[in-house]
Chain A
């Protein structure tokens, strides 16, 4: 289980995430939504260890990982699919996937099983990652994260800049990941997409939690998303 307790993150003087708390049960799925600049990506980076916490703590199965560098958190089972995919461009697709063996975690995901469920990635295995289309890159980035056999998968804006058909394919793949017992924290700008993928929603507005709950009403979400009298 992933717990985020009263986390604040600032870039210099500029606060990006303020006092956010959330819980993600083992095998669960939670969508963090919010407008541009609401602090969603920063929150995921803070959980993964790519930006330092200003305050608060991140716990994985009760263990405080707040002070650990990113690679140690990956080895403990927190995998981030970063914003913008961040593939190693000069490496082939297969080499990108193999780098994740550095996490030294065993589990259901291997080169073979990832290729089996993501034929799009398998077909491009010897291509250089820099030569892939956006959708192929996104699928490869997810595959690379899965190769670490994570307990928690953090997905940052996986639909950004992709064609609707590709987005649908990627979201259709999420249940397959959860079947293996991996819990998912996904960040999404598209409220409809997010609420379809997850019943539990956490809405951020200017770095703060503006709404959180299960099976929320779309009107409430919209208010929390853009900021209104109720928020």
Chain B
């Protein structure tokens, strides 16, 4: 593969990373909560997709997985609502520590429950060979149809979320609750409900990310940690709290990884990705899109 091809490939990979990162960034922007179980929930979504596509296997490829996804995404989003409302809500305080500890604990519990119920084998989701290997020949390189669809999906979802945040009453209330949760009650809105809906959106995004990633690469119960790190790196590179920055950061991370894989060795791609992230942390700690916690 040539270098240009690697760059194109990296940009496409950025689509999945952006989906991972957007939920993390969104929850932090709204409720100042860093969800360390974010990656673990992506893995949960992937396994839920795996089990359900088994149940729907009569539909064949790609119908089985698409139907499974249509169930998985709302279920995970609803789980996010309940988790925020009844568990995470009570960890929110001036100190970030309680929510960090609780979500860290959740990540460990989830990983171990998956190990017991799903075994440690690596798994993959299947859309059928036709869709997974389809590509468009651009002459100088060819691009995969599935990664392209995921990137476009990421752009549409993030764009849609940006619009909702900017234009709708829900968006206004989310921004209001991010400014001053105690005062939101005076407008007649329940701040806990607003938080929980925001969490549902973040979990819905992470479910899409987990499913998309499960089609592209293998996953196992322990994959959550790597998902979380990629999400973190994309968020920090792009700039915390900015959805478009997150997309940009995700693409940069994807490009760095795929160019490293081609120019150096595939074994180094994650390491170099981490190093670039560290450079950003040292020299541009606010990310590329420098905004003060605006959504």
Which residues of chain B come closer than 8 Å to A89, judged between CB atoms?
A: 179-180
Considering the complex, give the chain A residue whose CB is closest to the CB of B178.
A90
Interface assignment of B136: CB less than 8 Å from any CB of chain A:
no
Interface assignment of A178: CB less than 8 Å from any CB of chain B:
no
Assuming the contacts A89-B179, A90-B175, A99-B172, asked whether A79 and B185 have C-beta atoms less than 8 A apart, the reply is no
Interface assignment of A63: CB less than 8 Å from any CB of chain B:
no
Considering the complex, give the chain B residue whose CB is closest to the CB of A95.
B172
Considering the complex, give the chain B residue whose CB is closest to the CB of A148.
B188
Of the listed stretches A3-11, A52-60, A102-110, A192-200, name the one at the interface; the rest are far from the partner chain: A102-110
Considering the complex, give the chain A residue whose CB is closest to the CB of B191.
A71
Assuming the contacts A91-B172, A95-B172, A99-B172, asked whether A74 and B188 have C-beta atoms less than 8 A apart, the reply is yes
For the complex, what is the distance from the CA of A101 to the CA of B123, rounded to whole Å? Answer: 48
Interface assignment of A213: CB less than 8 Å from any CB of chain B:
no
Interface assignment of B182: CB less than 8 Å from any CB of chain A:
yes
> Pick the contact of A99 from B178, B182, B187, B294 — CB < 8 Å?
B187
> Pick the contact of A49 from B178, B183, B185 — CB < 8 Å?
B185
For the complex, what is the distance from the CA of A82 to the CA of B179, rounded to whole Å? Answer: 15
Which residues of chain A come closer than 8 Å to B178, judged between CB atoms?
A: 90
For the complex, what is the distance from the CA of A105 to the CA of B186, rounded to whole Å? Answer: 13
Considering the complex, give the chain B residue whose CB is closest to the CB of A49.
B185
For the complex, what is the distance from the CA of A40 to the CA of B179, rounded to whole Å? Answer: 25
Interface assignment of B176: CB less than 8 Å from any CB of chain A:
yes
Interface assignment of B200: CB less than 8 Å from any CB of chain A:
no
Which residues of chain B come closer than 8 Å to A86, judged between CB atoms?
A: 180, 182-183, 186
Which residues of chain A come closer than 8 Å to B189, judged between CB atoms?
A: 71, 99, 102
> Pick the contact of A71 from B180, B190, B294 — CB < 8 Å?
B190
Which residues of chain A come closer than 8 Å to B172, judged between CB atoms?
A: 91, 95, 98-99
Contact in complex: A102, B175 (CB < 8 Å):
no
8 A Cβ contacts from B186-212 to A: 186-191
Which residues of chain B come closer than 8 Å to A102, judged between CB atoms?
A: 169, 173, 187-189
Interface residues on B, range: 10 to 19
Contact in complex: A91, B176 (CB < 8 Å):
yes
> Pick the contact of B173 from A48, A82, A99 — CB < 8 Å?
A99
> Pick the contact of B179 from A50, A70, A90, A105 — CB < 8 Å?
A90
For the complex, what is the distance from the CA of A226 to the CA of B127, rounded to whole Å? Answer: 78
Contact in complex: A103, B187 (CB < 8 Å):
yes
8 A Cβ contacts from B150-197 to A: 169, 172-173, 175-176, 178-180, 182-191
Residue of B175, B185, B294 with most partner-chain A CB within 10 A: B185
Assuming the contacts A88-B175, A90-B294, A91-B175, asked whether A100 and B183 have C-beta atoms less than 8 A apart, the reply is no
Contact in complex: A101, B190 (CB < 8 Å):
no
Assuming the contacts A98-B169, A98-B172, asked whether A88 and B180 have C-beta atoms less than 8 A apart, the reply is yes
Interface assignment of A144: CB less than 8 Å from any CB of chain B:
yes
> Pick the contact of B182 from A50, A79, A100, A148 — CB < 8 Å?
A50
Contact in complex: A88, B188 (CB < 8 Å):
no
Assuming the contacts A90-B294, A98-B172, A99-B173, asked whether A74 and B186 have C-beta atoms less than 8 A apart, the reply is yes
For the complex, what is the distance from the CA of A74 to the CA of B106, rounded to whole Å? Answer: 36
Chain A 80-124 near chain B by CB (<8 Å), digits 1 or 0 = 101000101111000110111111110000000000000000000
8 A Cβ contacts from A8-33 to B: none
Which residues of chain A come closer than 8 Å to B190, judged between CB atoms?
A: 69, 71
Interface assignment of A208: CB less than 8 Å from any CB of chain B:
no
For the complex, what is the distance from the CA of A86 to the CA of B172, rounded to whole Å? Answer: 15
26 cross-chain CB contacts under 8 A: A48-B186, A50-B186, A70-B186, A71-B188, A74-B185, A74-B187, A74-B188, A79-B186, A80-B186, A82-B183, A86-B183, A88-B179, A89-B179, A89-B180, A90-B294, A91-B175, A91-B179, A95-B172, A99-B176, A100-B187, A100-B188, A101-B169, A102-B189, A103-B187, A104-B188, A105-B188
Given A71-B190, A80-B186, A99-B172: 10 more A-B contacts, CB < 8 Å: A50-B185, A71-B189, A74-B187, A90-B294, A95-B175, A96-B176, A99-B176, A99-B184, A99-B189, A103-B188
What residues of chain B have their CB less than 8 Å away from a CB belonging to chain A?
A: 169, 172-173, 175-176, 178-180, 182-191, 294
What residues of chain A have their CB less than 8 Å away from a CB belonging to chain B?
A: 48-50, 69-71, 74-75, 79-80, 82, 86, 88-91, 95-96, 98-105, 144-145, 148
